[in-house]
A and B are shown apart, each in its own frame.
Chain A
Amino acid sequence: MEESPLHPFELHNYIPLSVGGIDISINKAVIIMWVVVALVAFLMLKAGSARQLVPGKLQSLGEMLVDFVRGIILDTMGKDGMRFFPLIATLFLFILFCNLIGLIPGSYTVTSQIVVTAVFACVVYGLSLVMGFLLHGAKFLGILVPPGTPGWLLPLMIPIELISQLARPISLAVRLFANMTAGHVILGVLFGLAISGGLLIGWLPFAFTIAMNGLEVGIAFIQAYIFTVLTCVYLGDAFHLHGHDDHAH
């Protein structure tokens, strides 16, 4: 029998619920999301509760995470960007812990559902649009014209920039989703090889899964980091509108 490699990503409702025709059933992904929220909240509250001048282990971890996000914002958006710190830190910690918790066998990777990553991407991109129009008014449409474009190039540049703008939320969503899905599919294929290979040759793919797990932990961090950096870049673009080029890049 041929089994789809996407079979482990299928969700089954534990408690079917429906409010006004909208399906809000409780399934594994929802439960794991609650676990992640509880875990992050508990960790950060615990780390921040008994603050000491010389930090303990947990406080050090909390300080490192917060300082890491602060560094990303200062590098990409400058000092003005710190007002977005709560949003960006929440996004980073949630995505990071979703990615990491998915690596535990028997758990579920919430970020391997494109609906989850698409909601993140749409919120981030929608926020950048709303903020851009609120701050700059109609001048925000100038984001479609890179500075220094000669007038006769405008009919060519505006469609290209429009497409690149519209591709932003799509690529943001698909990147995270595809990375998480592909990593788990590769692990699944390798474990399948290890089982079907038997003892004689099966140890080889099994040993490789250990290396792949290490890479997956790295990918979990990198993808959370990339998502955060790109969020900051998009918000910063809307915030500064061609100005402060020393912060971008």
Chain B
Amino acid sequence: MDSAAAALLGMGLAAAGFAGAGVGIGYIFGKMIEAVARQPEAEARVGKYMWIGFALVEAIALYGLVIAFIIMGLRK
């Protein structure tokens, strides 16, 4: 295989890591809604941890993006 094609494939595969973050973010917000539906008065406290968790999960997806950029830098 051409090395340029392999680099493009690798970048695409790195982006596939977003699937995991999608599952994670869906899980976080779903559980948050569940928790607030059960105990509406806990919304402020649960919400704080939800945003922390959201940012942590999102950051993991972005590590994939960083890897894609590294491959892009190596390509030349």
By a beta-carbon cutoff of 8 Å, the part of chain A in contact with chain B is 4, 6, 171, 174-175, 178-179, 181-182, 185, 219, 222-223, 225-226, 229
Contact = CB atoms under 8 A, between A and B. Distances in A.
A120 B67 CA distance: 22
Contacts of A175: 55-56, 59, 62
A4 B11 CA distance: 13
B59 A179 contact: yes
Interface in B31-74: 51-52, 54-56, 58-59, 62-63, 65-66, 69, 72
Nearest to B65: A182
A178 B59 contact: yes
Question: From DSSP, what is the main secondary structure of chain B's interface residues?
Answer: helix
Contacts of A182: 62, 65
Contacts of A4: 72
Nearest to A185: B65
Contact of B63 (A6, A174, A219, A223): A174
B56 A178 contact: no
A32 B69 CA distance: 25
B56 A174 contact: no
5 contacts: A174-B59, A174-B62, A175-B55, A181-B65, A226-B56
Given A219-B55, A229-B52, 14 more contacts: A6-B69, A6-B72, A171-B59, A175-B55, A175-B56, A175-B62, A178-B62, A178-B65, A178-B66, A179-B55, A179-B62, A182-B65, A223-B55, A225-B55
A175 B72 CA distance: 20
Interface residues of B, number: 13
Contacts of B72: 4, 6
Contacts of A229: 52
B66 A226 contact: no
- A-B residue pairs, 10 tightest by C-beta: A178-B62, A175-B59, A226-B55, A222-B55, A182-B62, A178-B66, A182-B65, A222-B51, A179-B62, A226-B52
Interface string B13-42: 000000000000000000000000000000
B51 A225 contact: yes
A182 B58 CA distance: 11
A229 B54 CA distance: 14
A178 B72 CA distance: 15
A179 B21 CA distance: 14
Nearest to A249: B49
Nearest to B58: A179
Nearest to B62: A178
Nearest to A75: B48
Contacts of B52: 225-226, 229
B63 to A, nearest CB: 7
Given A222-B55, A226-B52, A174 B66 contact: yes
Given A4-B72, A6-B69, A222 B62 contact: no
Contacts of A223: 55
